[in-house]
Chains A and B, each alone.
Chain A
Amino acid sequence: MKVFVYDLEKCNGCHNCQIVCKDEHVDNEWLPYAMPQPDTGQFWSKVEEEVCGRVPHVRVNYLPVQCNHCDDAPCMKGNPAVKKRDDGLVIIDPVESKGERGIVDACPYGHIYWNEELEIPQKCTGCAHLLDDGWEVPRCVDACCTGALRFGEEADFADELKDAVVLGEEFGTAPRVYYLNKPERFVAATVVDVYADEVVEGATAMLQRAADEEVVSTGETDEFGDIWFEDVRPDVYRLWLKKDGYLDQAVDVDLTQKDCSIPELQFFKQPVKA
């Protein structure tokens, strides 16, 4: 059984996967696997992006998405036009599915598109027409330059998949598309002694969860006064700063909705007694 594995740390956001899917399927008919994809508006492979943080602590997260070729695919239920292949790919028969708009609605991910002109539901086929003709991988995988997107036997990826996540786990559809290094939220700050006009290196930073006061992460500010806590679960926290000779500093950070950047976190020296 095949899987798609995206390593998001290696995804450079070039959109090649999105583009070559169109190169393969727009204006090309691959019956019995697929009818042509409309020129625009459908994205059997799609790169989503999200800009997080504030200047100067900004990250861009690219997230390529596609049909998850679920083992327990809602689109298959009660729809004989949708079939699971032995290799795990889910294919919508382009002839049998004519008029079956319910197939589009069945997908909790929104990865099935309705072709108005042909009156058929359409989505990623895993380029099954190529695989069955001896090609090694689908077009999107072939076009990926950085190795962020791979395709192959599940067993060959077993070691890596232990740390992988799927999208929409709560849908319970057993997706066959896995993601490595999917970022959670971050807290970033530049710690500055504004009176000295210097960044503060070597301050201990602790991230304490508000709900139970557990310290979930600790670190030290670097040569730039920067502290980055990565992959933090969405929640409410208190960021503590401590360093000898400085007053302890605490800032509340709310990561429930978005990442947090503190461009200039002021840190004060203990007053010197006369």
Chain B
Amino acid sequence: MKFRFHDKTIEAQPGDTVAAALYRSGQRIFSRSFKYHRPRGLLCVSGKCPNCLMNVDGIPNVRTCITPVHEGLRVKAQNAYPSLETDFLSVTQRFDWLMPVGWYYKTFTRPAMWHAVEPAIRKVAGLGEILPSGPREYEHAWMHAHTVVIGGGWAGMQAALAAAERGEQVVLIDDQVALGGQACYRKRMGPRPDAIIARIRAAANIRLLQNSYCFGLYEGNLLGVLQRAPHPGASERLIHLRAQQTVVASGAYEAPIVFPNNDLVGVMLSTGVLRLLHLHRVQAGKRAVVVGKSLQAGEVAEELRDGGIEIVAIVDPDTILKATGSSTVNGIQTRTGHFSCDLVVICGPRIPDNGFVAQAGGRIEWSEPQGAFLPTLPPSNVSAVGDASGEAVANTIAPLPTSKRAFVCLCSDVTSADLCDAVAEGFNHIETLKRYTTATMGPCQGRMCQLSAIGVCARETGRSIGETGMTTSRPPNPGVSLGALAGPKHHPLRRTPMHYAHQDLGVVWLDMGDWQRPRYYTDHLAASEEERVLLEYRAVREAAGLIDVSTLGKLDVRGADSGKLLDKVYTHRFSDLPPGRVRYALMCDEGGIILDDGTVSRISEDRYFVTTTSGNLDFVQQWLEWQICATGWDVHITNVTAGYGAMNLAGPKSRDTLRKLTECDLSSGSFPYMACREAKIKGIPAILLRIGFVGETGWEIHCPAESAEGLWRAILGAGHEFGVRPFGVATQRLLRLEKRHVIVGVDTDALTNPYEADMAWAVKLDKKEFIGKTLLAHAAKDRSRERLVGFVLQSPGVPEDGAAVVVDGQPAGRVTSARYSPAQLAAVGLAWVKTSLAQDGVFIDLRVNGELLKAKVTMKPFYDPEGVRLRQ
């Protein structure tokens, strides 16, 4: 396998990680540090430290030491210019005296100062850059399990097998390249765990999630799991994994020891060196000094010697003065002498990885004999096993010399001297020390530095480690990409049954919620919206127009208590509505605030047909069902929105058009305004409502969705001789505005009651009981607030929606809708004004394009104020 590292081609062997292959090819510097741009090499080789973060295939901050190689990967270093080996910005470490701990807070004391330097600092400091890159797919998945085991080491595998043998469904999560944990690279663990791995793989009820990590344990035992490269079509999958029992078997990781120059390239953790050696057959160096206490260090030295690495010396941490070398380590200076080497192997403290127990609500306390923070009192559904529980962990805390080159936090270059300074400045609590110095806040989330930082804090404050305590473990840890959290870029899209008929006509679409609706039709010609809308407007006013209103919410309401329910939820009365009649329906909440409007038609004695606004259907349906649930009434609601297509034919020629297609008597005598009928149109069963949203003679026709496109084409065909045209939402908005018809949610807001919206006629306070009655009765008496009025602009121009109403130089309201009206030959609209201005003939000022223009208030429709046309 081959992959690219900048302009080099790197050979990789099967099972290699990116970092292992790079190391084998001779790469030693893997990153440059956050603040001082010091060269950094591999340290933990297990995804716990920040040193190997690189940009892989355009994704920044990828932990290359646990990222498997695949053919054609493109890997780049980050935070270094021009290269990892020569980084000009490493000059910053000469100016470390300029940048003491907390220098942001001390230096940039005014916003202006910060704004001046922020761009430069962002360039110099920090992690990788997010580059706009090609499409990357993320997925979300949901899983359930009896038992989830976090960590595929020895203890985790045992726990998974034990649970599987009890017959439980088990999920085993491992973030390393190979199952087995330290059993794969530590001789003292005995033979390689091939047999148990085979049993895990063979168990039918163990689901193995490899190359995956758990980043948080949330309420209800919900685990956030990130699976890398689940399949070629997705780069990451976020799994919402719900467990009944969580077993934390995340083991213990090794942390560095603090001494001057402890961050030089070639200073590595013993587990990192052993991983390279046994998992990847890579010798990390030729001549090594092992740093550690006698027993532990002796074991490691022996294993390395067996692996062909010469051991120069075993050095006790207590005797170390410093590591030597400029960027790569060349030796260790101790009290007794200097040892030359090209590799320093640190046998550091082993930290039980038990953050998930803390996230589950368990307590974590310091155990002096084990030298580690251990979980006590975990919740009943979470347990820690193996090294994560602290068993077999016995640390002695190495000295923490104070030095400006002894790095505690590798993520953001915080030294032991910085921590001492911060404590001296008064940040003597571990939580404030963390926030002030940013130690433990970097990509490693404290894995490498927490114990040392606590140690320094304890020593400097004269407290014990137990008293100093630990910072709080919070998810996500390790980090998760925002793309994975955001998930797939899916957005539901709804199309009406006539969608393709619109497309054939040539259309400009309008997105309304999930729906796509025709904004206006183009006839496949290039023309402006104004021209096309005027054409459609003229057709409706002079001949007839046809609009697709399939997006209206449509509810079929049946049952003995249907009338009672509609009386309760709407302000009008519906129990007395005779079959064959339609009534406008306005819905308010208990506070008398307008929620929705629509129509209610009584199709037969026990069947109502209710329409709602397009966007409020879900809400209205739930609102009705809530009332039914709370009262126990005999009503059944069926949402037939998708089952019916709907279109509105309106205009003086609509009757002539429709007459060609139906035997239903359409004369106003037998089918008057606000009546409804069931009839066949061109053989298609339909519900016809004679209503007039746009102010002309017209019918709203609802028919089965599968026949809607055919009916649409039939009506346009029949109307062709009369000049019937299809019209879109843009034209409908203009037509309804001329009639002063309110659109709920556009002209009203979350504080509007019907009296303010000038719709008192729709509220029947003499009705015994309905939702909002008491407060509406109260509002009917108190009209002190604003009113929604119509206005006609007295000079050319059209106010924008939202334009200010100005009275005596003070803002006194706002415009909610405005359009140029061909009927008035001026801009007309709706505006909220103080009640005192809500009278015919009053003049108000509107701010239009920065100018104040006079407008005349009217409380009547701008077109056909008496409503003669729609009754013809």
> Do A and B associate with each other?
no
Q: Give B residues with C-beta under 8 Å from A.
A: none
Residues on A close to B: CB < 8 A? none
